[in-house]
């Protein structure tokens, strides 16, 4: 699988600071699906066995996840994807994120005390883009009829499915926040409480919505009864949606951007997503000999965190909807700029502030990531999210899904590139990723979880390339998560933020990080993200898959 990764044979060195893999890498010849819920993975695999494409498998999996993991994603959220097309031998990208309602302006928002948009409110609603993303992908790359692709999710929604453990825990915690939101309890608290692990949950309203999409297509959502119901609900609950917001909605096919990291090409999507931050982070890290430092040294963890701060300073200052603000992507991605930024890192002291470079809210957010691959060599990296778990908590009972709160990431500072404007896309945290070498696609991968995502992408790539880990080990390895950087909403880091590192590193190493000024604090396991990956052997075409030990999911092939 990863035989071409440097240091692959040196298992003793790679093992330091990571421990053994929690499960075996999964291998298959014809196709593979990896996602955060096993029943959803099976639905995707069934599409591949029926002759469907990787896109058919991904949509079927995502549709099931919207039902089975509503704590992270659904038809009320947004979607991004990177796909390798074996016919054209090109990477293509889809931005299926929505825009602010045309009737919503900054002066209408009642901000929080910190000057940000209230997350769990109609002020944070943006038009959901997921459904349009499905149909855009399917129109270009689907092989099976949409009625067949959505059939498993419809059946599970009607007949019910048993809840998996991690999702059940997230569900239980979410009810404390959302139980009083309009429609939430009616859909997601049957019998007046959250369903428990192993209990059967049904969502007949969502089944009707999915059946309508299977029969009538995407216009049933954006020009028909689904949009009409969303607008009716919006008017009844203080929202700003009008039919024109849905009728005008469209996804965009955006060319992925990339950078070279020690001979490997890493692919991300451009702004309004934060994928650029992962590439900037890797460009900065390339200026340091991480392998020689070793994962068992304080220098390694210090550099990883400080590089993140530097990259996130630019993220806070520049990333926004390019349709409204010109993005200096080329300058931010340049190796010379990365070298200048790397020079700012003080190896003995943690930075307290993260000023952006001079170019001539986010901590624990739920998302679902999945990837799929088929026999033709098509591979898709797809991420989909409501933003904060169940999103805004506002749920439309007649439709069986809630509305995202992605608009909470807009800035209320009118001069900021990410300032709220009618019809504008907000800064987005969700990012799919891809790895290739010498023009050959190698890995579709992602790591869900708000601001953890670019940090996680960089850590996975470093684990594979610098330390020779295999696909499962690269995800199982101890992770850090730094929080408190300056944000695109306008908040600014002034105290260095907080550093969270998973258990397993020596106490002496942690003490040294504290001496350098890092403020260490514990964090729930789920805050370190959720990784899935599929690797394709460029010689044999054999697929291998890995899945996140911190989630319920699996990787399966045939």
Say if residue 8's pLDDT is above 70: no
The model's confidence at residue 358, banded by pLDDT at 50, 70 and 90, is low
Give the pTM: 0.93
Chain mean pLDDT for the chain: 93
The continuous run of DSSP H or E covering 92 comes out as strand 90-96
What letter does residue 219 receive in the DSSP assignment?
A: H
Find how far residue 135's CA is from the centre of its chain.
20
| Burial category of 6 from C-beta neighbours within 10 Å (exposed 0-12, middle 13-18, buried 19 and up) | middle
Task: Tell me which residue range forms the domain holding 114.
Answer: 29-253+365-409
Report d(CA 362, CA 352) in Å as an integer: 19
Decide: 480 and 459 in contact? Cβ < 8 Å: yes
Q: Would residue 78 count as lying in a domain?
A: yes
Say if residue 163's pLDDT is above 70: yes
Residues annotated as catalytic (active site), given as ranges: 367
The region, left, alpha or beta by phi > 0 then psi within -120 to 50, assigned to residue 21 is beta
Give residue-wise pLDDT tens across range 306-346.
999 999 988 888 888 989 988 788 889 999 999 999 999 99
Q: What is the pLDDT of residue 18?
A: 45
Q: Would residue 390 count as lying in a domain?
A: yes
Average of per-residue pLDDT across 255-283: 96
Please state, for a pLDDT cut of 70, what percent of the chain lies above it.
Answer: 94
Ranking 74-78, 182-186, 317-321 by mean pLDDT, the lowest is 317-321
Say if residue 9's pLDDT is above 90: no
Please state, for a pLDDT cut of 90, what percent of the chain lies above it.
Answer: 85
Q: Would residue 287 count as lying in a domain?
A: no
Q: What is the pLDDT of residue 359?
A: 52
Say if residue 362's pLDDT is above 70: no
Say if residue 262's pLDDT is above 70: yes
Q: What is the pLDDT of residue 265?
A: 98
Report d(CA 125, CA 464) in Å as an integer: 38
Q: What is the pLDDT of residue 357?
A: 66
CB burial of 52-80 (b: ≥16 within 10 Å; e: otherwise) equals bbbbbbbbbbbbbbbbbbbbbbbbbbbbb
* Tally of domains within the chain: 1
Say if residue 489's pLDDT is above 90: no
Give residue-wise pLDDT tens across range 377-428.
999 999 999 999 999 999 999 999 999 999 999 999 999 999 999 999 999 9
Q: Would residue 124 count as lying in a domain?
A: yes
Average of per-residue pLDDT across 535-541: 96
Q: Would residue 95 count as lying in a domain?
A: yes
Decide: 414 and 427 in contact? Cβ < 8 Å: no
Q: What is the pLDDT of residue 19?
A: 46
Give residue-wise pLDDT tens across range 433-474.
999 999 999 999 999 888 899 999 999 999 999 999 999 999
3, 4, 10, 15 alpha-carbon torsion, rounded to 10°: -80
The model's confidence at residue 87, banded by pLDDT at 50, 70 and 90, is very high
The model's confidence at residue 11, banded by pLDDT at 50, 70 and 90, is very low
Q: Using alpha carbons only, what angle is made at residue 204 by residues 198 and 210, rounded to the nearest 5 degrees? A: 110
Average of per-residue pLDDT across 487-509: 89
What letter does residue 301 receive in the DSSP assignment?
A: H
Say if residue 360's pLDDT is above 60: no
The model's confidence at residue 43, banded by pLDDT at 50, 70 and 90, is very high
Q: Would residue 374 count as lying in a domain?
A: yes
Q: Would residue 532 count as lying in a domain?
A: no
């Amino acid at each position: 699988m990863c035989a071409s990764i440097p240091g692959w044979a040196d298992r003793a060195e790679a093992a330091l600071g990571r421990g053994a893999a929690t499960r075996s890498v999964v291998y298959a010849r014809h196709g593979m699906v990896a996602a955060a819920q096993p029943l959803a993975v099976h639905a995707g695999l069934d599409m591949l066995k029926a002759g469907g494409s990787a896109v058919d498998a991904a949509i079927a999996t995502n549709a099931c996840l919207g039902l089975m993991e509503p704590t992270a994603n659904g038809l009320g959220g947004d979607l991004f994807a990177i796909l390798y097309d074996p016919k054209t031998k090109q990477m293509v990208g889809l931005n299926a994120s929505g825009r602010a309602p045309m009737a919503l302006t900054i002066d209408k928002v009642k901000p929080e005390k910190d000057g940000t948009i209230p997350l769990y409110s109609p002020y944070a609603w943006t038009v959901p883009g997921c459904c349009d993303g499905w149909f855009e992908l399917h129109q270009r790359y689907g092989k099976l009829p949409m009625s067949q692709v959505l059939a498993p999710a419809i059946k599970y929604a009607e007949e019910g499915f048993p809840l998996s453990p991690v999702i059940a825990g997230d569900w239980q915690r979410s009810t404390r926040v959302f139980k009083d939101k309009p429609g939430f309890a009616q859909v997601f608290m049957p019998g007046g409480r959250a369903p428990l692990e192993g209990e059967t949950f049904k969502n007949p309203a969502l089944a009707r919505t999915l059946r309508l999409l299977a029969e009538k297509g995407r216009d049933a959502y954006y020009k028909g009864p689904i949009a009409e119901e969303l607008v009716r609900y919006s008017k009844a609950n203080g929202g700003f949606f009008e039919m024109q917001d849905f009728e005008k909605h469209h996804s965009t096919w955006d060319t992925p951007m990339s950078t070279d990291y020690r001979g490997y090409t890493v692919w991300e999507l451009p702004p309004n997503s934060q994928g650029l931050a992962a590439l900037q982070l890797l460009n900065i890290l390339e200026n340091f000999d991480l392998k020689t430092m070793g994962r068992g040294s304080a220098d390694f963890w210090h550099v990883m965190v400080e590089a993140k701060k530097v990259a996130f300073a630019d993220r806070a200052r520049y990333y926004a909807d390019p349709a409204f603000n010109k993005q200096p992507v080329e300058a931010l991605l340049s190796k010379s700029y990365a070298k200048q930024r790397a020079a700012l890192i003080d190896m003995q002291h943690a930075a307290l502030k993260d000023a952006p470079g001079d170019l001539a809210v986010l901590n624990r957010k739920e998302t679902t990531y999945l990837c799929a691959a088929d026999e033709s060599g098509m591979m898709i990296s797809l991420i989909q999210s409501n933003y904060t778990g169940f999103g805004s908590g506002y749920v439309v009972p007649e439709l069986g899904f809630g509305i995202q709160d992605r608009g909470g990431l807009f800035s209320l500072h009118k001069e900021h590139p990410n300032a709220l404007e009618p019809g504008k896309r907000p800064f987005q945290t969700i990012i799919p990723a891809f790895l290739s070498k010498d023009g050959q696609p190698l890995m579709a991968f992602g790591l869900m979880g708000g601001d953890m995502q670019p940090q996680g992408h960089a850590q996975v790539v470093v684990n594979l390339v610098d330390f020779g880990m295999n696909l499962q080990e690269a995800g199982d390895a101890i992770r850090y998560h730094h929080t408190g950087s300056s944000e695109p909403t306008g908040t600014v880091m002034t105290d260095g933020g907080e550093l969270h590192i998973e258990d397993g590193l020596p106490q002496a190493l942690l003490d040294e990080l504290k001496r350098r000024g890092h403020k260490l604090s514990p964090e729930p396991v789920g805050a370190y993200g959720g990784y899935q990956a599929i690797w394709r052997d460029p010689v044999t075409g054999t697929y291998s898959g890995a899945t996140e030990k911190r989630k319920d999911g699996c990787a399966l092939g045939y």
